[in-house]
Amino acid sequence: MLPARHSIIPLPDNEDERLVALRSYNILDTAEEKDFDELTTLASSICQTPIALISLVDAERQWFKSHIGTDEKESPKEYSFCAHAIASSDDIMVVADATQDERFFDNPLVTGDTQIVFYAGVPLINEDGFALGSLCVIDHQRKNFSQEQASALKILAKQVVDKLELRRKVKALEIANQELRDANVFIQKFASMAAHDIKNPLSSISLTAQALKIRLQKLEDEGCERLIDLNITSTNRLSVLIDDMLAYSQSPALLLTKKQEIELTVLLKRVISLINVPENFDISVPTDKYQLNLSIVAFEQIFINLLTNAIRYNNKENGVVIIRFLHDDDYYKFEVEDNGIGIAPEYHEKIFTNNFTLKITDRYSKQGTGIGLSTVKDLVKALKGTIYVKSIPGEGTTFFVAIKK
């Protein structure tokens, strides 16, 4: 067992922040890379040592991104010379003879098979001032370390840091580019579905306007006021929807980040007002007054699609749609159940893929585009939620939607 003093690892004053910085590079336990191996090979050659390491000091270990002259890939932090190097304020730590150094003379890396005698390590200081680890060289015998070798090791350590920074920035750029590509696809799909949904209030306006024209021919018809109100409501809602679309087209992130407080019943009734509900359909919504905080426009697009599908693919004399709501500490949970034609089990996953359709016609003799449910799933995923379906062909379908609070 090691003496107690070896269990006391020197820590930088900013150890917690340093560990956060180190992990931000996402480099621990990654594969070997030629660029780093070339630097350790050069360090070994210049310093005339058999071993050279790029050592990154984690919370419990030192892990070697590059290891020339040894097959070891990591060692416990409590034995680490590099932990001492990064805790020091010196720009290089040189141990000429570890067997004579009170910090290391009985260290297992000195007394064991590794037989470290000479060590020189330069802390790898990133642009924010955190020491991530060290570039170090090791020998099994005492040696004289020249000033020129020390200077060269410092220069190589700077090159290691530069490569770490470049690697992190390249990774960040790759992630940003992928997010941009995903966002572009998402926006295109959303715009396509939203454009389709605009037809619903437009259809209401057109139909009520035609009915109004006929009724206006009959003076003192009490139904005219109701039709006019419906026309005005549909028109105003369409205007708001178009304004929202324009705002989101300029700043797509608003679609998901712009959250509002709203009562669930009010929100669902607003959604229902945007779709054409046949007279033989009954849509049941929760009656309790639940307050939700979410992206209203995203919610509307999800439920417009689910409710529209429930109506379109229903062949019953009396259509029924039941919306249920539950919630826990983390999620809003919805169930949308209908008594429609149902979906065969082999299609329960496929219906959420882009451009997939069941190649059947709806109650209006039209086929789906394969865009709606795919976009719904993308919206739910963007809201950090889940969606899945259960269905019995001929009896009905239930969609289960969970949205992160």
pLDDT value for 195: 63
18 CB contacts (<8 Å, ≥6 apart)? 12, 86, 130, 131, 132
pLDDT of residue 180: 76
Residue predicted with more confidence, 110 or 89: 110
pLDDT given for residue 362 in this prediction: 81
Residue 7 has pLDDT above 60, yes or no: no
Q: Outline which parts of the chain fall under CATH 3.30.565.10.
A: 258-405
Helix and strand element counts for the chain (H, E): 10, 13
- Give residue 251's identity as a one-letter amino acid code: S
pLDDT above 60 (res 4):
no
- Give me the residue label for tokens 């007002």: 273
Tens of pLDDT along 343-357? 999 999 999 988 788
CA-CA distances (angstroms) from residue 171 to 177, 181, 244?
Answer: 10, 15, 34
> pLDDT for 306-323, tens place per residue?
999 999 999 999 999 999
> For 99, how many CA atoms within 13 A lie in the half-sphere containing its CB?
11
Q: What is the pLDDT of residue 276?
A: 84
Question: Which has the higher per-residue pLDDT, 181 or 69?
Answer: 69
Q: Looking at the predicted structure, is the pLDDT value of residue 395 above 50?
A: yes
Q: In degrees to the nearest 10, what's the CA dihedral of 87, 93, 99, 101?
A: -60
Residue 8 has pLDDT above 80, yes or no: no
At 201 the three-state DSSP class reads: helix
Confidence of residue 139 (pLDDT cuts 50, 70, 90): very high
* pLDDT averaged over every residue in the chain: 87
Which amino acid does the sequence have at 66?
Answer: S
User: What pLDDT score does 256 carry?
Assistant: 66
Q: Which of 268, 357, 371, 374 has its CA nearest to residue 313?
A: 357
The pLDDT assigned to 255 comes to 64
Is residue 190 over pLDDT 90? no
pLDDT at 212 over 50: yes
pLDDT of residue 191: 66
**Nearest partner of 133 among 71, 65, 47, judged by Cα:** 65
CB neighbours of 402 closer than 8 A, spacing ≥ 6?
331, 332, 333, 334, 380, 385, 386, 387
Q: How many angstroms separate the CA atoms of 373 and 382, rounded? A: 14
The better pLDDT of the pair 82, 220 is held by 82
CA 362 to chain centroid: 36
- Write down the pLDDT at residue 3: 41
Radius of gyration (C-alpha) of the chain in whole angstroms: 33
Q: Which residue has the higher pLDDT, 125 or 257?
A: 125
pLDDT for position 192: 63
* Cβ–Cβ < 8 Å for 32, 5: no
Strands (E), 40-187: 51-57, 61-68, 74-76, 93-95, 118-125, 131-139
State the Cα–Cα distance between residues 256 and 244, nearest whole angstrom: 12
What's the pLDDT score for residue 2?
39
Q: 272 — phi, psi (to 5°)?
A: -60, -35
Strand partners, 385: none
Q: Give phi and psi for 295, each to the nearest 5.
A: -80, 105
**Which residue ranges does the chain devote to CATH 3.30.450.40?**
13-176
Whether the per-residue pLDDT at 1 is higher than 50: the answer is no
> Residue 5: which pLDDT band, with cuts at 50, 70 and 90?
very low
Q: What is the pLDDT of residues 250-305, one digit of tens each?
A: 566 666 677 889 999 999 998 998 888 999 999 999 999 999 999 888 898 899 99
Check: CB of residue 115 under 8 Å from CB of residue 140. Answer: yes
Can you give the pLDDT at residue 12?
A: 82
Helical ranges in 66-146 per DSSP H: 81-87, 108-111
**387: β partners:** 401
Contact present, 196 and 241 (Cβ < 8 Å): no
CATH number belonging to domain 13-176: 3.30.450.40
110-119 mean pLDDT: 93
pLDDT in tens, 39-50: 999 999 999 999
Q: Answer with the residue of higher pLDDT: 171 or 340.
A: 340
CA distance 303 to 300: 5
Q: Flag whether pLDDT at 185 surpasses 90.
A: no
Which class would CATH give 258-405? Answer: alpha beta
